[in-house]
Structure 1
């Protein structure tokens, strides 16, 4: 994507479309607006200052271009149709959406592209754009598109003329325009967090992602934390964080805590759904069973979840209930519970202790401030939870806080 101003990083409001205009390259006059709704929304003076981006050089053709001015943000997708019947052997045009300068417009990008392709097809079929200087029909189309997208977030362009019923017509083609609802911006991803697929890995095609993401995906297994993924995939840490954040945005993965047998989990009020929702039951059994051909019993799964309470570590729970004998994979049981919100984990925080010589010689103590979780400390220092717990056990000035 080519962008003349920040677009995808813009965190402004998702305001409605204020104007749609159609611009083309006149062989004598040059770039000009030949149709816009509302009329004269974008003045000639404003257009002249950005026309070089609206009708750009060949390298930027068929690229999403966003121009941010003081009061407006203009989003377009310039198109060039090569044919000897046109003056200068080509027809250049650009359909542009105009929003407020601080508006977020990334969700309109696929709509602008799709409508531009529709107009290009109409032009190739019957010279809809270039045959006449009368742009009344085009103006009706732009007016209806702006109205429908602002009110309903969708519009249909078809081959039956019926503007009163939200149907726009030209030629013998149909195109459906829809504004995709934007997900909230994901929170920054941290080194100690564990990405996990919300659906099976097999449903995602590797070639639909960028090369860095393709390199990272094989190491996402629901157990590797971000720092470990970066090391094993041999990808710079911040790049992995950006990849994971992008996957979260598109609903491909979510984040869960690192699994350790010293972790303490607690059932949430949502666990009740497991007794009522048969589809949830089926998914839980399929996910948490150790042997797919010999699935675990729901009663045993529910018993394990219900036994997760403050003071009982996962190690204690496994020793008491022996999930292996119950045909339960306890690691995947925990994963499913966290993903579905059936359980939550108690993070451990370590408050500071008085300064002494041991603190000076052991850098791990700088994390004992009460603001770092055990996962963060392990990930930052490279020490295991057992090693950290051993330090805490030997130092009476350090205690664990369970939250």
Structure 2
């Protein structure tokens, strides 16, 4: 099985590199391994079965390719160098790492790409790869890389005047499952991300990530199946592109965290906050007003109450972005409401007939219930207010 590994749904534990091999396309013999350490780790029979993925067609060039076999997983980054000096006017090669079949390899992807780029530069500079059938120096490099990465997670390669520093990125824990009512928001400027960096489904989802649309709404707007959207968002969270925040509503209640003190001391954090939360960039809000709004957030005070009292528009504050920044930086937290049907309470006819009561267990927040039932917060709150046997717990 072969796939372009743009997703991080990969399971398994981090494991060592078992082999590194260099394959190229010979204009007569076709794809073949011309150098590997240890020798003969990947047999000719195994290679012949997967060579179509190791030296693939043009559309898969410069894509991360993962091939899972019974015992091994092969990670590569095929490269094509166009030049009339080569037979067939091009030189094709692929540097591949081999790990155990159940090992996770996503953390090796940047290393494989960077080393492939280093070899490509050497080839363009002095035909390092194609000038001779003697691959002794290349074998020394592969052995050094495998040993250093397995032992130290980093390696420095030097050949002539060229140097490359390779480092295995720390394997981040897999993000928690994404829920329908969560809102993805970019951690950096959305315009800095190029669509061609992502798979087609993610490209379809990206335009609807605005820091206000929750996952279920994004799925409907993008016309993408809900679970696919969740997988895409989880992938983006893994790579640190987005984080997840609660749905914004004026009925929401927020409370400050101890980190708000840091905002009072950190000038750079203050500058970022002012730039993010100001209504007009050319007329920034004052930090004093921003801090006052944050410090006024507490139990029992909704955003609507706060806006009526402090009038953020007159203070040149965009209250929605103020909340976004506070959630991203951990300056504030959302206070959720959980409806609970009192145990032993005699259920009214409405309670027996209304399926929404099954959510009144104290484990579902209003946000979750709204997303699951399609009802508004006001509609659910109205049901709760009319039934003395249902209490609302805030936490």
Query: TM-score, normalised to structure 1's length?
Result: 0.81
Q: Which structure shows the bigger proportion of residues in strand conformation?
A: 2
The secondary structure found in structure 2 opposite 1:3 is strand
The answer for the alignment partner of 1:163 in structure 2 is none
Correspondence 1:259 to 2:248: yes
Determine whether 1:52 maps to 2:48: yes
Specify the alignment match of 1:356 in structure 2. 348
Q: Does structure 2 conserve the Cα–Cα contact (< 8 Å) formed by 1:53 and 1:65?
A: no
Q: Which residue of 1 aligns with 2:325?
A: 336
Deviation (angstroms), 1:290:
2.8
Q: Which residue of 2 aligns with 1:291?
A: 280
Deviations 1:279-310 (A, max 9, x none): 11111122222333333222222222222222
User: How has the CA–CA distance of structure 1 residues 239 and 146 changed in structure 2, closer, same or farther, with 3 Å as cutoff?
Assistant: same
Q: Which moved more, 1:103-112 or 1:277-286?
A: 103-112
Equivalent residue number for residue 229 of structure 2 = 240
- 2:271 corresponds in structure 1 to 282
Q: Within the alignment, does 1:319 sit opposite 2:329 as a pair?
A: no
Indicate the residue corresponding to 2:159 in structure 1: 169
Measure how far apart 1:273 and its partner are. Answer: 0.4
Cα 1:81/1:209, change in 2 over 3 Å:
closer
After superposition, the Cα gap between the structure-2 partners of 1:150 and 1:368, relative to the gap in structure 1 and judged at 3 Å, is same
Indicate the larger mover: 270-279 or 179-188.
179-188
Partner of 1:213: 202
CA drift of 1:167 comes to 4.0
1:145 aligns with 2:137: no
3-state SS of paired residue (2:97)? strand
Structure 2 alignment gaps of length 5 or more = none
1:2 and 1:60 in contact (8 A); partners too: no
Q: TM-score scaled to structure 2, two decimals? A: 0.83
Structure 1 residues 53 and 112, CA gap change in structure 2 (3 angstroms): farther
Equivalence map 1:4-403=2 (5 Å): 8-23=8-23, 34-39=34-39, 42=41, 47-56=43-52, 59=56, 62=61, 64-69=64-69, 71-77=71-77, 94-116=94-116, 118-119=118-119, 122=122, 128-129=128-129, 132=132, 134-151=134-151, 153-155=153-155, 166-169=156-159, 175-352=164-341, 354-403=346-395
Gaps of 5+ in 1: 156-165
**Residues in 2 aligned to 1:227 and 1:375: alpha-carbon distance in whole angstroms:** 12
Cα deviation code 1:46-68 (max 9, x no counterpart) = 62441224533764574644344
Return closer, same or farther for 1:7/1:35 CA change in 2, 3 Å cut-off: farther
Which deviations, in whole Å up to 9, do the C-alpha atoms of 1:85-129 show, x marking residues without a partner?
999999775433222332211232343344345445655765544
RMSD: 3.6
